[in-house]
Amino acid sequence: MARDVLLTFNAGSSTIKLGLFAVEHGAAVAFGQGEVDLRHTPLKLSLKEGDRALDVDLKAPATDDLHHVIDELLGWQAKHFAHDTLVAVAHRIVHGGDRFVEAALVDDDTLAGIEALAPLAPLHQPQGLRLIRAVKHLRPDLPQSASFDTAFHRSQSDAVRHFALPREMFDQGIKRYGFHGLSYKFIASRLATKHPKLAAGRVVVAHLGSGASLCGLHGGASRDTSMSFSTLDGIPMATRPGALDPGVLLYLLQSRGMSTDDLQDLLYHRSGLLGLSGLSADSRELVASSAPEARQALEVFSLRVAREVAAIATTLGGLDALVFTAGIGEHQAGIRAAIVAHLGWLGAALDAGANDAHAERIDAACSRIALMVVHTDEEQVIADEACRLLFHTQSQDTA
C-alpha cells in the first residue's frame, strides 16, 4: 500500500539519525529509523524497520556539503520504498536562540536565522545547516521544517536564564538557553499521558547520553536546566567537561599559551569521561574496565549528576520524580544506582531488581521520590511538529 512519507534528520556533531514516518490523516506514524556515522569509512546506513535490521553500504564520500551522502540516502529511500512518496523532510536544529520559540517552516529567512546562530553551537548547528541545504539543493520541491532544541526552555524565568554579567549582555544574547529540548518535550508528553499525577508535579529528567543534561519540569514545563549558553555546560559528558571554572580557561589561554582552536578541541573532544579516564568516552567500556581511572571517571560523573539533580530541585521547590532517559540513562543500571545512592538524603531509594531489569519504575516501596526509566524519542517530536506545520492538523500525541 502506498504511503506518504516524512523523513526526519537529527544531526549530531558526527552522526546523522534518520526517522521514517508514514503521514496518516496528518499524523506521523513511525515505521523505521536509521543512523549514519560520518566518522567511519566507508559510510554505512544502519536501519531498523519494525523487527528487521539491515546495514546498507554507502558509496558516497562525506564531503563538506554532504550533497553526495544525502543524494544517496534519498535515492536509496526512493528505491527501497518504491511505492511510497516522500512528501517532506524535517530537521532537528540545536540552537534557536531567542528568535525561534517553536518549530518553523524552512525558507530563506529561516535559513539565514539558523545560520546566524551557528557561533553559539559550532559543532551541531553547521551540521543541521548542511543537511537542510543538501536537501534544498537536491530536492527543492520538498517542503522542510526545523525543530529547535532550545525552544522548550523558553518557559524558564529570567532569574534562571541570567548570568551574573553586565545586564546589557543578556540583551545581546548571552544567557542560559538550554538544550535537549526535543527529548524533554517527549518525556513531558509521555508523563502527562501515562503518569498525569507525576507530570503535574516537580520532575527532574536526566538525559544521559554522549551529550548529557538535566531539566527540571513543573507541570510539564521547563523551569531549569543544566546546559546553558552552550552545549558544554552542566554535567560531564562523553568528551565535554560540563561546568568549569572560567578561570581555568583564562589560565590555559594566558599562561599555557593555548590557542582558541586548541581550547575548543580540548573542551569539545578531549574532556569529559574520555579526559577523566584517559581510556574511553564510552561509558560501557568504562563500566567493563577494571582500571581505577575508569572507576574514577564514573564516580565523578555520577556525583555531578546527583549534584545537579539537587540543584534543580531547589529551583523547583522540591522533587517528586527523577526520570532517566537516553543511552546511559536507559541502559546503564550501575550508573543509575550510583546516582541514586547520592540522593538518599532526599528520600530516593532504589529497587535493585527493577533497576537491573530496566523497568519503567525502579523506586523501592519506601522511596519518597518516584524513580523512572523512560525511553525518549526526539525523532517523533520532530515529525509531530512537522506535521502540525506542513499538514495543518494536530498530529498524534508524542507519547
**Rg for the chain (alpha carbons), in Å?**
21
- CA-wise closest residue to 123 among 235, 10, 12: 12
Q: Is 204 helix (H, G, I), strand (E, B) or coil?
A: strand
What's the CA gap between 302 and 360, in Å, rounded? 20
Q: Which residues contact 349 (CB under 8 A, 6 or more apart)?
A: 340, 363, 364, 366, 367, 368
Q: Check 149, 233, 363, 384 and give the catalytic one.
A: 149
- Looking at beta carbons, which pairs linking 24-32 to residues 24 or more positions away fall under 8 Å? 25/393, 26/387, 26/391, 26/392, 26/393, 26/394, 26/395, 27/384, 27/387, 27/393, 27/395, 27/396, 28/380, 28/383, 28/384, 28/386, 28/387, 28/395, 28/396, 29/396, 30/377, 30/379, 30/380, 30/383
281: cell is 568516552
Distance of alpha carbon 325 from alpha carbon 310, whole angstroms? 18
328, 338 contact by CB (below 8 A): no
What ranges in the chain are assigned the alpha helix state H? 67-80, 108-116, 125-138, 158-161, 167-171, 181-194, 196-199, 246-254, 260-269, 272-277, 283-288, 292-316, 326-331, 333-341, 352-356, 378-390
> How wide is the angle at C-alpha 17 spanned by C-alphas 283 and 309, nearest 5°?
45
363 is catalytic: no
Going by the DSSP 8-state scheme, the letter that residue 317 receives in this structure is T
Beta bridge partners, 10, equal 17, 92
- Closest to 324 (Cα-Cα) out of 191, 138, 143, 193: 191
Q: What are phi and psi of 385, to 5 degrees?
A: -65, -35
Rounded-to-integer distance, Cα 58 and Cα 73, Å: 8
Q: Evaluate whether 47 touches 54 at the Cβ level (below 8 Å).
A: yes
Known catalytic residues are 149
